[in-house]
């Protein structure tokens, strides 16, 4: 369906990420250079799941908050959303694999159904959205092994706190910003324009008292969602009373916001930081600034200050949010070449496909090997960018040495595409058969995950 967003008419089109477009974003380097996404370093993760080990999760914003929580065994949340417009396929599985890994490290998980967004941007009724979400996504998510004690599932349309935040935090963003980020224009409907704010509400509401209080929150996404993460991080920062930065002359500065009680606030900040072990301060009350002298403004120091000052803001009556962290994963190449997409059935393995269909799709996938057996034997294949290699890499082969072996035999021409596809088909069918068997029981357990949402909280 054509999106009402006027992205294609905007001169910046090439530089914008449109979350509602079906285009594949291929240039990952550009994401670092132009959009400021930072590389993801998995070396601090305990027994990282394969998607982290293999660079499939390649980028992040603000992951240091999550790393710190993991290191100190402090609470953190992980939140992911699904759009009940298309059906669940193995691309969506990757997010749940990551979520389960973080849950194993103690994260509290929030799984939301973006039924408002599907209504506002795809014209999907709430009732249909609910049905698709439950049958196609949630049953599979639960069958994949999430812990109901530490997972909340909710629908955007039934969480008042999400709507409240969407409206209230809307005070922190102007139309000019929304236009610049999303390319919204005169023909954008107000419901569509509100969808990103609802997502801001999703991401930040988990830090409200009722949902666990301020704590680091990770949102694992594909890069198409980055605009929403940038918006949410900006809004969270705009909502803070203190802003901690490295100043141009290399000092660490704590700047407070507001018109009243500035001296009081700076006094409190200074006392809090003294309590946290900092010693040398310089004050500039007219500048609303407190400088720490003798502390190098490293990212780690900024992070510690930020955490130390959080309780102070609450004492002053505003509600601070940790900036949400994001991690970005690569998209799997479609079985037909191009993009893996719900709108191209042959491009992906869907959770509700029959086992025969899955086997057939994988066996007829487009690979990067030679056109003929002779050519393949002579020149070998290219595992990079091959949908079948990615099937092994992302989903099927957990042993790194076994995966390296597949890559090596592919490159040398020893492993033929037919054999490789056969193995992938068998592996995927086995996995899916097992999942499908567990699905009916998983579906019955859904109420355990819905908590308050059954009563419309």
Binding site for ligand TRP (CB under 6 A): 19, 79-81, 83, 112, 114, 117, 199, 202-203, 219, 221, 225
CA 246, 248, 252: angle at the middle one, nearest 5? Answer: 30
Rounded-to-integer distance, Cα 343 and Cα 242, Å = 45
Which two three-digit tokens encode residue 274? Answer: 């003294």
Are the CB atoms for 125 and 174 separated by under 8 Å?
no
The alpha carbon of residue 318 and the mean position of all alpha carbons in its chain are separated, in whole angstroms, by: 27
Q: How far is the CB of 195 from ligand TRP (least distance, A)?
A: 7
Q: How far is the CB of 137 from ligand TRP (least distance, A)?
A: 11
Rounded-to-integer distance, Cα 88 and Cα 290, Å = 51
Q: What sign does the dihedral 195-200-205-206 (CA atoms) show?
A: positive
Which two three-digit tokens encode residue 235? Answer: 């809004």
Rounded-to-integer distance, Cα 253 and Cα 102, Å = 33
Q: How far is the CB of 75 from ligand TRP (least distance, A)?
A: 19
Which two three-digit tokens encode residue 447? Answer: 């109420």
CA distances from 448 to 157, 275, 348, 396, 454 (A): 19, 42, 30, 29, 10
Question: Which stretches within 239-354 are classed as H helix?
Answer: 262-275, 299-315
Task: Give 144's DSSP letter.
Answer: T
Closest listed residue to residue 289, CA positions, set 321, 257, 260, 318: 257
Q: How far is the CB of 86 from ligand TRP (least distance, A)?
A: 10
Rounded-to-integer distance, Cα 343 and Cα 199, Å = 23
Which residue minimizes CB distance to ligand TRP? 81
Q: How far is the CB of 117 from ligand TRP (least distance, A)?
A: 5
Q: How far is the CB of 405 from ligand TRP (least distance, A)?
A: 35
Q: How far is the CB of 249 from ligand TRP (least distance, A)?
A: 38
Are the CB atoms for 322 and 65 separated by under 8 Å?
yes
User: Between β-strands 252-256 and 151-155, what pairing exists: parallel, antiparallel or unpaired?
Assistant: unpaired
CA 300, 307, 213: angle at the middle one, nearest 5? Answer: 140
Q: How far is the CB of 200 from ligand TRP (least distance, A)?
A: 9
Q: Rounded to a whole number, what is the distance in angstroms from the first to the last CA of the chain?
A: 33
Rounded-to-integer distance, Cα 319 and Cα 313, Å = 7
Rounded-to-integer distance, Cα 431 and Cα 437, Å = 10
CA distances from 429 to 117, 356, 393, 423, 443 (A): 33, 8, 16, 10, 21
Q: How far is the CB of 221 from ligand TRP (least distance, A)?
A: 6
Q: How far is the CB of 228 from ligand TRP (least distance, A)?
A: 6
Dihedrals phi, psi of 15, to nearest 5 degrees: -100, 5
Between residues 199 and 393, which has the closer beta carbon with respect to ligand TRP? 199
User: Between β-strands 337-339 and 333-334, what pairing exists: parallel, antiparallel or unpaired?
Assistant: antiparallel
Q: How far is the CB of 363 from ligand TRP (least distance, A)?
A: 30
Task: Give 455's DSSP letter.
Answer: G
Between residues 108 and 202, which has the closer beta carbon with respect to ligand TRP? 202
């Amino acid at each position: 369906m054509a999106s009402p967003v006027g992205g294609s008419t905007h001169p910046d089109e090439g530089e914008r990420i449109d979350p509602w477009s079906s285009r594949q974003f291929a240039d990952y380097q550009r994401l670092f250079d132009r959009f400021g996404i930072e590389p993801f370093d998995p070396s601090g993760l305990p027994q990282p799941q394969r998607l982290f080990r293999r660079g499939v999760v390649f980028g992040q914003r603000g992951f240091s908050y999550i790393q710190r929580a993991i290191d100190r065994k402090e609470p953190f949340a992980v939140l992911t959303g699904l759009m009940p417009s298309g059906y669940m396929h193995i691309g969506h599985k990757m997010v749940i694999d990551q979520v389960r890994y973080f849950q194993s490290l103690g994260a509290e998980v929030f799984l939301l159904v973006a039924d408002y967004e599907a209504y506002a941007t795809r014209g999907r009724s709430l009732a249909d959205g609910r049905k698709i979400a439950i049958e196609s996504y949630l049953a599979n998510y639960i069958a994949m092994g999430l812990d109901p004690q530490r997972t909340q599932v909710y629908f955007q349309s039934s969480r008042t706190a999400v709507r409240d935040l969407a409206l209230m935090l809307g005070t922190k963003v102007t139309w000019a910003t929304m236009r610049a980020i999303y390319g919204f224009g005169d023909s954008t409907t107000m419901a569509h324009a509100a969808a990103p704010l609802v997502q801001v509400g999703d991401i930040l509401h988990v830090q409200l008292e009722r949902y666990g209080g301020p704590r680091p929150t990770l949102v694992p996404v594909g890069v198409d969602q980055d605009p929403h993460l940038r918006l949410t991080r900006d809004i969270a920062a705009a909502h803070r009373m203190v802003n901690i930065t490295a100043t141009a002359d290399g000092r660490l500065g704590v700047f407070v916001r507001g018109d009243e009680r500035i001296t009081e606030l700076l006094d409190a900040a200074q006392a809090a930081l003294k309590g946290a072990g900092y010693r040398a301060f310089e004050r500039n009350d007219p500048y609303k600034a407190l400088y720490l002298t003798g502390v190098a403004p490293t990212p780690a120091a900024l992070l510690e200050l930020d955490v130390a000052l959080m309780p102070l803001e609450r004492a002053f009556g505003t509600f601070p949010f940790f900036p949400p962290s994001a991690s970005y994963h690569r998209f799997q190449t479609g079985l037909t070449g191009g993009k893996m997409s719900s709108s191209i059935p042959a491009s992906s393995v869907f959770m509700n496909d029959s086992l025969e269909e899955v086997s057939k799709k994988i066996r007829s996938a487009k690979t990067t090997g030679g056109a003929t057996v002779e050519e393949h034997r002579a020149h070998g294949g290219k595992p990079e960018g091959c949908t079948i290699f990615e099937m092994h890499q992302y989903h099927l082969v957990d042993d790194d040495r076994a995966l390296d072996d597949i890559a090596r035999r592919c490159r040398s021409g020893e492993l033929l595409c037919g054999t490789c596809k056969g193995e992938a088909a068998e592996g995927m069918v086995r996995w899916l058969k097992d999942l499908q068997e567990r699905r009916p029981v998983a579906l019955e357990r859904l109420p355990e995950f819905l908590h308050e949402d059954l009563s419309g909280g």
